Amino acid sequence: MSCFSAMSAPLLGEMEQTIGMLERGTIVTKLYGKQRRPDRRHLMLIRETRQVIWATVATQTPRTDYEGAIQLREIREIRVGKHSKEFRLFADDCQRFESSKCFVILHGSHFKLKSFSVVALSEIEADNWVRGLQYMVKDTLGAPYTLQIDRWLRREYYQIENVNSHSAKATEQSPAQVTIKDFKLFLAGVSCKMTTGKFMEHFTEDVRRKHDLKFDDFSRLYQKLLLPNGFASNLSGSGSSGANFPYSEDQQVVRPAELKQFLESEQRDVSACEISNAAIASFIRDFVQDVERDVQEPYLTFSEFVDFLFSKQNDLWNSKYDSVFMDMNLPLSSYWIASSHNTYLTGDQFSSESSCEAYARALRMGCRCIELDCWNGPDNLPYIFHGHTMTSKIKFMDVIKTIKDHAFTTSEYPVILSIEQNCSLEQQRNMAQALIEVFGDTLLSQPCDRNEQHLPSPYQLRRKIILKHKKLPQFDDISNGISGTGSLGHRSSLGGAGGGENDGENVRKVFKEGLLYFKDPVDKSWNLYQFVLTHQELIYSSEINETRNGNSEDDDFGLSSSCSLNSNMQQKQKDASANDELHFGENWFHGKLEGGRKEADDLLKQYKHFGDGTFLVRESATFVGDYSLSFWRRNRPNHCRIKLKHENGSIKYYLVENFVFDSLYSLIVYYRKNMLRSSEFSIILKEPVPQPKKHEDQEWFHPNTTKEQAEQGLYRLDIGSFLVRPSVQSINAFVISFTINRKIKHCRIMQEGRLYGIDTMNFESLVSLINYYTRNPLYRNVKLSHPVSQELLRQALAESAQGDHTGHDDNGASNYMGSNLEEYVTCKALYSYKANKPDELSFPKHAIITNVQRDNSMWWIGDYGGMIKKHLPANYVKVIDSATEDYNSLNEDGTDGRTDSIEIFGAVASLFESNDPGIIFKLQIQTPTMQNPFVIGFDNQETAYEWIKAIQEAALIASQLATERRKKERTARVAKEMSDLIIYFRSVPFREHSWIFQEMSSFPETKAEKQFLQQNTQLFLSYHRNQISRVYPKGQRLDSSNFNPMPFWNIGSQMIALNYQTGDRAMQFNQAKFRNNGQCGYILKPAFMKSESFQPNNPLCDGFGGVKVTIRLIAARHLFRGGKSNNPQIVVEIVGASYDTGVKYRTKVNENGFNPVWNESCEFNVRNPQFAILRFEVQDEDMFAETHFIAQACYPLTCVRQGYRSVILRNKFSEELELSSLLINIKIANATSP
């Protein structure tokens, strides 16, 4: 139960108060199914029986007259909010309920869980219920065996009492009692058979006379009957009744030393010898849970010792395999992957219900590959259901949201969505958009490594969603004939998550590039932008090359031979003097001091109070390329040259000959810990000289100015006016406040060590940073051109204060927003959106939406295309400018400029003269998806003509590419947007050669059986070493039954897709196999499967390590079948390699299902234990000698413990049965060679 194991238990006192409140009960609103409306109920926790019960509010005795109950041991999940079928059924009624007051309990022992949906009176009560139940469920599942029996008996006793109570009320008899007759009927229900005479012998004369059984009598008699007579001899392995149990001296109790000896000798517990007697004693006290026996030397009675043997604490399963221990760094093809078929179904394939809960259930069971059958649905988004059948339909969007919520609850390793595509191209495009929107960064949209030669590992893909789907064939480049093209190093447009194409898709042909004018959508001014034209889009960026920032009259637009969108950043990195050396950011490194040695002397004298050893390192003024160490010693400065020499192509640093260091940093670190010795002195370097704060003397530095003062003072000043002030949010940060078109911007500068940084650029001082941005644009071509002194700021503030009384000039829009003003932003559409309601806004991709009002909801309000104040989905747009934007925000490429693009497909370009100052021609571009044209400005006629010709040619190429794309989309029936998201699991028909590791093939079981196991075994063994295949049930399995997965696992197929909703043998094997390795859903295939000599049906292959298994089937408990008396027998079988598979033993039929004893043995060899699953099945033989399923248990043979062990029995859905178990003695030894 992973959903509870991760809990951190609160303080006992606080939790005890919460549990007490739950026991008293609260009034809640319970939601029912379709036939009944929500109603108020009294909800209570019964701690004694570990149940949650509910009763009508009018009931005076809710503990007995309750309407329904849930066992805590059957609770699988507790959800906060309205996430259940009942809440969806009454969606309108439930709108008045706050989500924080609602919770859902999912419970049951089948695949399809039941939901219990309630609304508490307050958020606090709901929180108490959720926390309290989570704590109680965890406590219930981890309780000792003795407590589990006690709680089960109490539940049965109270149930009998309640039945008798109702009967007594109906007949107006005396208060209800539990009688001897009731006890006999109870025993019959648990398959305990005995004659009446023998039954009465167990009661005292007093009990027989009163005819009334209290709980203590009820419990004591049951415990007495549970242990068969002479059971000690069965444990010892002797058939004689007088044999003694060797680990109990008096045959009555087992003491700590005897228990320790038993663990070492019989259980082969290698850690038992290291366990102290005190630890053994503590274990006994915890198991017994008896205050009166909480003594220094506790003991187990023989009956309690047998209880321990039957308990889960003595499970055959080795708990060390409950955590991930396998190597998770190998390619995905090296693992078996837990996979589901028709994951959405809860039953058969013809008329059962499709449910989002089926996805949640499968994912929480550890499934890592789930299937989505997609068919055209309403709202241009698919339905998921089994096509051409009567199964119900669920929405694609609901499914992927459910997957997002539950994908990584049980395992952090990747989830694969196997999409069976039956949708139109339009709906596929919307699917792709929805997947990006819901999964975000979790969706894998690009390869882990561009140069990879094999599939990535599960570890590399942790917490990733991967799509399995068809992928379009790669496009041919039909634009090769265009001359004058260059290569763009990387795509700079605002691409979404789709990045799955090969490098040829991301490296676009550059038809033309240059600096052009673009009218800013926010401030309406013409600014220079870098433009790049490719065969698919026109990319434009406010980041321009620093060499182009001079007078535009000297610029030769459009004729740059090697300009790219990242050139400016490269230039910035050079000018910022970025240095990767470790010493460069250290406080003790002062770089090149302008005053040289004299300035170093002055700094040391200034900080001489630090004492001897105060030091700094600087670039040598005498020896270029070397460094100097300057330090204070005996009241005067001292200077040493740090020398450099080259060894084997690398630079070494040293002060003392033959004692060299790989870096200047390591040299200083060494001498700050060790003595620096020379013939003249010895010293340890101690405190470094602080960096000089030269910025404090600059007129633009304002040590005490606030953000509000900066905004009010700068508001009326010229563009480029600026000041620098300390940040109030961080002691190691400064802020540049500057003007841009009557707005104020704030850019944060972070100080790390001696360096000052903006984004990825670092400077040695604040002065050098400011000097750089006086020569280069800081934001949208604005340079820091007018420093504002403190005196000038005071004057501006005075004028601003006077303006507040006389009124502002309405022509300017101040960026300082009062608290009573609403925030407006401008947004750019990331996707197109079509309005579904009259108050919604329709817009194409890349649309500029203005006057956008934001709030905390998913819907904003904005203007576009003549539509005013209409609602738009917030996740379809991104903010490109905010009037109250505080600190600089970065785009996806990490730069501080704006980079956007428009699609060139269908573009119509027209050129006309302009009347705007400085702009001679305007080039207008209109595309089918744009409501308003895109306009570029030119101050040169020749350049304008070149660009319109290039755009027309690019539009033609784009049209040809689009035609080719549509043709390929129609042929493959795959939308490009969907194709772009497919990185690894590319679905293709199987071919016998030329395998590509990103591709995989799927096979129905019949074809897989023929190809894998009969005709091409050797080929598929080779295929599965590097490629992935998926095998799924044949279409004729309308009942959702499963095929045997074992032969396909054995040949290396990774994804054996089974119907998780069906509790059959195949799913039981699947659950057992993937219980290993922490139930993470990935099992590493054995190393011998990589060998060319491996043959799955050859028992003589190397590396198997065969074993001999000896099992003694001693006894069992609680083998019930529907409350009927039964005649159980045990079947032991191995399922694995073909030569190992088969029934190994079948016990005799025992006429006792309560506590049968067999004491029968079997022995068999398993030649390939790595493949083997050990299965126990309990069958009931009826009067016609026909057998019926009671319970089962499956274990990978490599995951079992030896000795006397309890086999915890499960139902057909692999859910544990309460108190039902076998007791066996198992030994596993290396087998001798045949």
Instruction: Return the top range by mean pLDDT from 810-824, 874-888, 961-975, 1141-1155.
Output: 1141-1155
Catalytic residue among 341, 583, 695, 846: 341
What contacts 823, CB < 8 A, 6 or more positions away? 817, 853, 854, 882, 883, 884
- For position 173, what pLDDT does the model report? 56
- For position 1125, what pLDDT does the model report? 58
pLDDT tens column, 906-959: 889 999 999 888 899 999 998 887 767 889 999 989 999 999 999 999 999 888
Instruction: Please count the other Cβ atoms lying within 10 Å of the Cβ belonging to residue 215.
Output: 15
- For position 19, what pLDDT does the model report? 93
3-class DSSP state for residue 1190?
A: strand
341 is known as an active-site residue? yes
Q: What residues pair up with 877 in beta bridges, in sequence order?
A: 829
Quick one: 648 exposed, middle or buried, by C-beta within 10 A (0-12, 13-18, 19+)?
A: exposed
Place of tokens 């008996």: 153
595 pLDDT exceeds 90? no
Evaluate whether 400 touches 438 at the Cβ level (below 8 Å).
yes
Evaluate whether 829 touches 844 at the Cβ level (below 8 Å).
yes
- For position 555, what pLDDT does the model report? 32
Share of the chain above pLDDT 90, in %: 47
- Token duo for residue 985: 């699991």
Evaluate whether 1188 touches 1125 at the Cβ level (below 8 Å).
no
Distance in angstroms (rounded) separating the CA atoms of residues 939 and 1049: 70
User: How many CA atoms within 13 Å lie on the side-chain side of 535?
Assistant: 26
Quick one: 342 exposed, middle or buried, by C-beta within 10 A (0-12, 13-18, 19+)?
A: buried
Q: For residue 306, which amino acid is it? A: V
370 pLDDT exceeds 70? yes
Q: How much is the average pLDDT of 406-434?
A: 95
- For position 856, what pLDDT does the model report? 57
| Band of residue 562 on the pLDDT scale cut at 50, 70, 90 | very low
Q: How much is the average pLDDT of 478-492?
A: 36
| Band of residue 543 on the pLDDT scale cut at 50, 70, 90 | low
- For position 921, what pLDDT does the model report? 93
Q: What residues pair up with 1221 in beta bridges, in sequence order?
A: 1117, 1208
- For position 73, what pLDDT does the model report? 95
Catalytic residue among 107, 386, 406, 1118: 386
- For position 175, what pLDDT does the model report? 63
Lowest mean pLDDT among 602-606, 728-732, 980-984: 728-732
Average pLDDT over the chain reads 83
- For position 509, what pLDDT does the model report? 64
| Band of residue 898 on the pLDDT scale cut at 50, 70, 90 | low
pLDDT tens column, 1038-1051: 999 999 999 999 99
433 pLDDT exceeds 50? yes
Q: Tell me what percent of the chain is helix, strand and coil, each rounded to the nearest 5.
A: 30, 30, 40
Place of tokens 């009241």: 635
| Band of residue 139 on the pLDDT scale cut at 50, 70, 90 | very high
- Token duo for residue 1230: 């290396």
- C-alpha triplet 701, 705, 711: angle, nearest 5°: 105
| Per-residue b or e along 171-209, where b marks 16 or more CB atoms closer than 10 Å to that residue's CB | eeeeebbbebebbeebbeebbbebeeeebeeebeeebee
- Token duo for residue 371: 């299937």
Evaluate whether 237 touches 1113 at the Cβ level (below 8 Å).
no
| Band of residue 575 on the pLDDT scale cut at 50, 70, 90 | very low
Share of the chain above pLDDT 70, in %: 85
Of the candidates 48, 70, 65, the residue with the CA atom closest to the CA atom of residue 118: 70
- For position 963, what pLDDT does the model report? 85
pLDDT tens column, 10-19: 445 788 999 9
Of the candidates 1215, 1194, 1202, the residue with the CA atom closest to the CA atom of residue 1134: 1194
- For position 707, what pLDDT does the model report? 87
- For position 924, what pLDDT does the model report? 92
What stretch of H or E contains 1181?
strand 1173-1181
| Per-residue b or e along 93-110, where b marks 16 or more CB atoms closer than 10 Å to that residue's CB | ebeebeeebbbbbbbbbe
1222 pLDDT exceeds 80? yes
Distance in angstroms (rounded) separating the CA atoms of residues 103 and 435: 27
pLDDT tens column, 313-351: 999 999 999 999 999 999 999 999 999 999 999 999 999
- For position 172, what pLDDT does the model report? 54
pLDDT tens column, 748-780: 898 877 788 886 678 888 998 999 898 888 876
What's the chain's Rg over C-alpha atoms? 39
- For position 103, what pLDDT does the model report? 96
Instruction: Return the top range by mean pLDDT from 26-30, 800-804, 867-871.
Output: 26-30
pLDDT tens column, 1159-1184: 999 999 999 999 999 999 999 987 77
388 is known as an active-site residue? no
Of the candidates 405, 228, 381, the residue with the CA atom closest to the CA atom of residue 306: 228
794 pLDDT exceeds 60? yes
- For position 989, what pLDDT does the model report? 94
Evaluate whether 285 touches 298 at the Cβ level (below 8 Å).
yes
Q: How much is the average pLDDT of 227-247?
A: 76
- For position 494, what pLDDT does the model report? 29
- For position 1148, what pLDDT does the model report? 92
6 pLDDT exceeds 50? no
| Per-residue b or e along 780-796, where b marks 16 or more CB atoms closer than 10 Å to that residue's CB | bbbbbebbbeeebbeeb
User: How many CA atoms within 13 Å lie on the side-chain side of 85?
Assistant: 16
Evaluate whether 802 touches 715 at the Cβ level (below 8 Å).
no
Place of tokens 């470790």: 582
Of the candidates 732, 768, 753, the residue with the CA atom closest to the CA atom of residue 589: 753
pLDDT tens column, 1062-1117: 999 999 999 999 999 999 999 999 999 999 999 999 988 888 889 999 999 999 99
Instruction: Return the top range by mean pLDDT from 137-151, 656-670, 719-733.
Output: 137-151
| Per-residue b or e along 301-335, where b marks 16 or more CB atoms closer than 10 Å to that residue's CB | ebebbbbbbbbbbbbbbbeebeebebebebbbbbb
Q: What residues pair up with 1116 in beta bridges, in sequence order?
A: 1222
Distance in angstroms (rounded) separating the CA atoms of residues 337 and 1083: 7
- Token duo for residue 268: 């082969």
- For position 923, what pLDDT does the model report? 93
Q: How much is the average pLDDT of 146-172?
A: 82
Evaluate whether 1005 touches 1066 at the Cβ level (below 8 Å).
no
Evaluate whether 910 touches 924 at the Cβ level (below 8 Å).
yes
887 pLDDT exceeds 50? no
Place of tokens 């989830």: 415
Question: 95 versus 107: which is more confidently predicted?
Answer: 107
- For position 78, what pLDDT does the model report? 96
Number of alpha helices (DSSP H) and beta strands (DSSP E) in the chain: 30, 54
